[in-house]
Structure 1
Amino acid sequence: MAEEKLSGNVKTAYDEFYQKHDEAWRMLGAKYKAQHIVDVCAGKSFGKVLEVGAGDGSILKYLSDQNFAPEYHAVEISDSGVAHIKSRDIKGLRSVQEFDGYKLPFEDNSFDLIILSHVLEHVEHERLLLREMKRVASHFAIEVPLDYKAGVDKRIKHFLAYGHINVYTPTSLRYLLMTEGYEVEKDLTSMIEPEVTRFNTYINQKKPKSLVTNLKIAAEYTVKNTLSKIGGEKATERYANAYTVLCKKTDKQADIF
């Protein structure tokens, strides 16, 4: 198989993306992404952690502040992302490197855990990245947004605006991982927290603050959360916004090529 490389237009887009940096918004999102990683990894300890597609380092910053692991490494496709990571005070950060989106610059079995948070939905050749990750680590904390809903094909422009070229449900992500020899050890679904919705409404969208809007945001979250808990798996998939898994690698892999 020919070696795949990141498309030039994708590389350019993400270089420019981190130049338009919004610290408060990205740190708010990272707070919950980091907590999801902590939750699925509860009861386990990892000495050497690599984040693949580390963005601006927000997640690693939160994990470091919680003493999640003693040693961290990061790879990122964009120059500006790498620069932001290096500028942060991340305790235990040992290396930050730019990479081509597929080839990880490390020896086999170099890490105890790889973090891949909100990356797969952007990846052109997702199976190739998953195989490379298995080469260098034993465990994996992976999170994706749950973009797939009925009529998703009518919202292509919306998702492409965020760079989302793949869409997932919990079952479709598990299928992808299992056919690449990953074993899911723990998983969780999550909804966008009211704090995030308020920030997006008032700061990003610049809508006027009001008690009524606050109450609506809180009520919508409570209703969806309740329906999700009592409605079973289908309801959970319907209302959840993200899915997080802790996996370990196995020797199994579907013979698909």
Structure 2
Amino acid sequence: MLSEDVKSAYNDFYKSSDEAWRMLGAKAKARNIMEVCRSINPEKILEVGAGDGSILHFLDAANFGKEIYALEIADTGVERIKLRKLKNLRAVQSFDGYKIPYPNQHFDLVILAHVLEHVEHERMLLRELNRVARYVVIEVPLDYRFGVDRRMKHFLNYGHINMYTPTLLRFLLQTEGLEIIADQTSLTPPETIKFNEFENKKNKKTLIRVLKIELEYSLKKLFGSILGKKKQEQFGNAYTVLTKNSSQNLQIF
């Protein structure tokens, strides 16, 4: 169970006024989720760690699923989700961060987007996801890269206590009996980078800086398409996977 200090920190997070920033990031996350789930047709969907409901906003608008449910540790997040009045939302409630209050295989799909990097006991949560749904889709940021030691304070300020590469996440999921059936690596869209540079960081917006952001994105996209999956994973900013229960059902205790 989460401590009251941690829960309070996330309550304060959703009181902040950076909704435009969260919505911009959520747009890309929702797109990634729908992309890896093209091979399935989930009707009953749960998002665990749903935050303020920004990802659900885009999924609901796209009619992704007929019934949507949400769990969130922060009471402020729960209230913001309710205020969205999503047409397919059936229930939203707070939870303790680990125990999911639904029976076995209750959902077609459970979503865990940019949550696992915050979780102290990853395997406990993964086992709960595996228990309540036929399919699990997970997205994590790819924080681990060259120069990461110099950015540790930055990640900790965002509450990231775990770091992943695509290989590390694949290994973690396999050892929990989750079989990956679709995956993709994605780059942060230029519009999101520009917002961060010129709105969040308050850097002066110039034509040269805008062109530099767009050129870097285009080059990474080009080299990734030419050089293949491993290079895409090297350049990528997020990794999204769709998993299902594996007959291998390995668990490490």
* TM-score, normalised with respect to structure 2: 0.96
The corresponding residue for 1:98 is: 94
State how 1:42-121 maps to structure 2 within 5 Å.
42-121=38-117
The corresponding residue for 1:200 is: 196
The corresponding residue for 1:210 is: 206
**Partner residue of 1:40 out of 22, 36, 39:** 36
Residues 130/223 of structure 1: CA separation in 2 closer, same or farther (3 Å cut): same
Q: Which amino acid aligns with 2:138?
A: I
Report Cα offsets for 1:112-167 as digits up to 9, x if no partner. Answer: 00010000000000000000111111101110000111342343211101111000
Runs of 4+ in 1 over 6 A off after TM superposition: none
The gaps in structure 1 that reach 5 residues or longer are none
The separation in 2 between residues aligned to 1:206 and 1:125, in whole angstroms, is 36
The corresponding residue for 1:252 is: 248
Q: Which amino acid aligns with 1:230?
A: I
The separation in 2 between residues aligned to 1:224 and 1:41, in whole angstroms, is 24
Q: For the Cα contact (< 8 Å) 2:177–2:251, is it kept in 1? A: no
The separation in 1 between residues aligned to 2:96 and 2:248, in whole angstroms, is 26
Task: Name the SS of the counterpart of 1:68 in structure 2.
Answer: coil
Q: Give the C-alpha shift of residue 234 in structure 1.
A: 3.5
The corresponding residue for 1:156 is: 152
The separation in 2 between residues aligned to 1:123 and 1:254, in whole angstroms, is 21
* Residue 128 in structure 1 maps to residue 124 in structure 2: yes
Report Cα offsets for 1:212-252 as digits up to 9, x if no partner. Answer: 21111111111111222223344222210000011111243
CA RMSD of superposed structures (Å): 1.3
Q: For the Cα contact (< 8 Å) 1:188–1:244, is it kept in 2? A: yes
The corresponding residue for 2:228 is: 232
Q: For the Cα contact (< 8 Å) 1:27–1:58, is it kept in 2? A: yes
Q: For the Cα contact (< 8 Å) 1:113–1:137, is it kept in 2? A: yes
The corresponding residue for 1:175 is: 171
Task: Name the SS of the counterpart of 1:26 in structure 2.
Answer: helix
Task: Name the SS of the counterpart of 2:244 in structure 1.
Answer: strand
Q: Give the C-alpha shift of residue 255 in structure 1.
A: 4.3
* TM-score, normalised with respect to structure 1: 0.95
Q: Give the C-alpha shift of residue 49 in structure 1.
A: 0.2
Task: Name the SS of the counterpart of 2:243 in structure 1.
Answer: strand
Q: For the Cα contact (< 8 Å) 2:117–2:140, is it kept in 1? A: yes
The separation in 1 between residues aligned to 2:212 and 2:124, in whole angstroms, is 43
Percent identity reads: 57
Q: Give the C-alpha shift of residue 6 in structure 1.
A: 1.1
Q: Which amino acid aligns with 1:146?
A: L
* Residue 23 in structure 1 maps to residue 16 in structure 2: no
